[in-house]
């Protein structure tokens, strides 16, 4: 039986050419695997037929939009996942679900290897291959662009020579990856980090400098998951899609960042994630109302580590699973409503309410009805500051007490 290789197939030029390119280089039959994670574009059946027309012996297609939204985007929302405090791991989230379907296709068709279209200097090669081998350690991984010298110019020449049913052009200024959680844009003139993005970079968001009338809505959460918008029940996918539309119309979720890649280089990236950024803003605010102080502090450390692991391609790692168990526990009381005002590039929380709220009006108020016993404060402060007080007394004993002279440090350096 001829060896078989499963190819992550997008329906575009590079992966269409890769079908024949891999067959020519290895002699193996190629099975195309297309996974819809909300990237838009063509119908899956059109993509399936194109793969077969380009030489694939089989085509596996999967509508994974609901799966992606529920099992990947929602954990990221619970973790308030923002890499470098800015990027909602748009591409990193989609790679493990695509890898999962690549492995399923490999098992279904008896393939010995999986191929992807990543270069040798990006993060995605790591995400795909680590995810694939974590799920199926015996599978081999092939990257035609990295391993088989498939460049874009070669791809265009190959497509034209073999009359492949794919549009070819050497003018493509950007590299774009998108899904329902957001859109990533890089390369071209954006590689000069002084250059400002032009209007044609954006697709998910309108110009925030010219916003429509402010849009106010109420998001309802249940255990950290959005379940309704303005009282209308929504699935995770529907919540993301509606927030993409409404927040995108206000120009919310545009991100321009010089990012630390896993492979050790810095890369300028532009992202659009209107729904993700609006949902994270609402979710964080509801957590401020419902999480106990120390629990919330520690969660911020845990979720940052969770985000780094996901960015670094470790979705299926034991540590990520362990951290996720803690995050899931913190969501027990993250239920309630958040009112958001969307306008001019900003999602602003204007109200919050929860039956599980730790906010007590009678404790917080300075007006009539205050139940906070202020007589307890003096003793609390004395005990709270006792350690620092004792340490300062010791320092003064040995001549190292704190100086009140603002120029003391400079004097010490100049003497």
Positions marked active-site: 14, 95, 124, 175
Question: Quick one: which H or E segment has residue 8?
Answer: strand 4-8
Has 217 been labeled as part of a binding site?
A: no
Strand 4-8 with 29-36, pairing: parallel
Rounded CA-CA distance 290/224 in Å is 11
Has 123 been labeled as part of a binding site?
A: yes
Has 392 been labeled as part of a binding site?
A: no
Has 237 been labeled as part of a binding site?
A: no
**Across-strand partners of 83?**
87
Secondary structure (DSSP) of 346-380: EEEEEEEE-TT----HHHH-SSTT----GGGHHHH
* Residue 392, both tokens: 């300062």
Has 275 been labeled as part of a binding site?
A: no
Whether the Cβ atoms of residue 225 and residue 338 lie closer than 8 Å to each other: no
* Residue 411, both tokens: 């004097």
CA angle 242, 185, 89 (to 5 degrees): 60
In the chain, DSSP finds a helix count (H) and a strand count (E) of 16, 14
Has 11 been labeled as part of a binding site?
A: yes
Whether the Cβ atoms of residue 67 and residue 36 lie closer than 8 Å to each other: no
Has 296 been labeled as part of a binding site?
A: no
Has 119 been labeled as part of a binding site?
A: yes
Has 71 been labeled as part of a binding site?
A: no
Rounded CA-CA distance 350/278 in Å is 13
Has 175 been labeled as part of a binding site?
A: yes
Has 387 been labeled as part of a binding site?
A: no
Has 15 been labeled as part of a binding site?
A: yes
* Residue 16, both tokens: 């269409």
Has 264 been labeled as part of a binding site?
A: no
Q: Find the DSSP H helices in 218-316.
A: 236-248, 274-290, 293-311
Q: Which segments are annotated as binding site?
A: 8-16, 87, 117, 119, 123-124, 127, 175, 259, 271
- Detail the residues annotated as belonging to a binding site for ATP: 8-16, 117
Binding residues for L-aspartate: 119, 123-124
Binding-site annotation, residues for L-citrulline: 87, 123, 127, 175, 259, 271
């Amino acid at each position: 039986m001829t060896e078989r290789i499963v190819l992550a197939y997008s329906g575009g030029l590079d992966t269409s050419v890769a079908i024949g390119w891999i067959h020519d280089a290895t002699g193996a039959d190629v099975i195309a695997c297309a996974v819809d994670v909300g990237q838009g574009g063509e119908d899956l059946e059109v993509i399936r037929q194109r793969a077969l027309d380009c030489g694939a012996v089989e085509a596996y297609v999967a509508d994974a939009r609901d799966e992606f939204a529920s099992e990947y985007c929602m954990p990221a929302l619970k973790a308030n996942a923002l890499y470098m405090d800015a990027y909602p791991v748009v591409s990193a989230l989609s790679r493990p679900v695509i890898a999962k379907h690549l492995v399923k296709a490999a098992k279904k068709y008896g393939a010995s290897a999986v191929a992807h279209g990543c270069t040798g200097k990006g993060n995605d090669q790591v995400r795909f291959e680590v995810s694939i081998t974590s799920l199926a350690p015996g599978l081999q991984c092939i990257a035609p662009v990295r391993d088989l010298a498939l460049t874009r110019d070669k791809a265009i020449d190959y497509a034209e020579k073999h009359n492949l049913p794919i549009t070819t052009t050497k003018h493509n200024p950007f590299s774009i990856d998108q899904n329902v959680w957001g859109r990533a844009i890089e390369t071209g003139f954006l590689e000069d980090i002084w250059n400002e993005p032009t209007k044609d970079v954006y697709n998910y968001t309108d110009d925030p400098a010219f916003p429509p009338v402010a849009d106010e809505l109420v998001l309802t959460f249940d255990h950290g998951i959005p379940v309704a918008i303005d009282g209308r029940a929504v699935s995770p996918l529907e919540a993301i899609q509606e927030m993409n539309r409404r927040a995108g119309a206000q120009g919310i979720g545009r991100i321009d960042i010089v990012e630390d890649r896993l492979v050790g280089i810095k890369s300028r990236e532009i992202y659009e994630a209107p729904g993700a950024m609006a949902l994270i803003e609402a979710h964080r605010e509801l957590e401020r109302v419902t999480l106990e102080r120390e629990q919330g502090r520690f969660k911020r450390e845990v979720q940052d580590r969770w985000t780094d692991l996901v960015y670094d391609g470790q979705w299926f790692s034991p540590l990520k699973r362990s951290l996720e168990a803690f995050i899931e526990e913190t969501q027990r009381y993250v239920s309630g409503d958040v009112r958001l005002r969307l306008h001019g590039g900003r999602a602003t929380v204007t109200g919050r309410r929860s039956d599980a709220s730790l906010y007590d009006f009678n404790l917080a108020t300075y007006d009539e009805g205050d139940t906070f016993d202020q007589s307890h404060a003096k003793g609390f402060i004395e005990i709270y500051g006792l350690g620092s007080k004792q340490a300062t007394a010791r320092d003064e004993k040995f001549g190292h007490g704190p100086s009140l002279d603002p120029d003391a440090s400079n004097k010490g350096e100049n003497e």
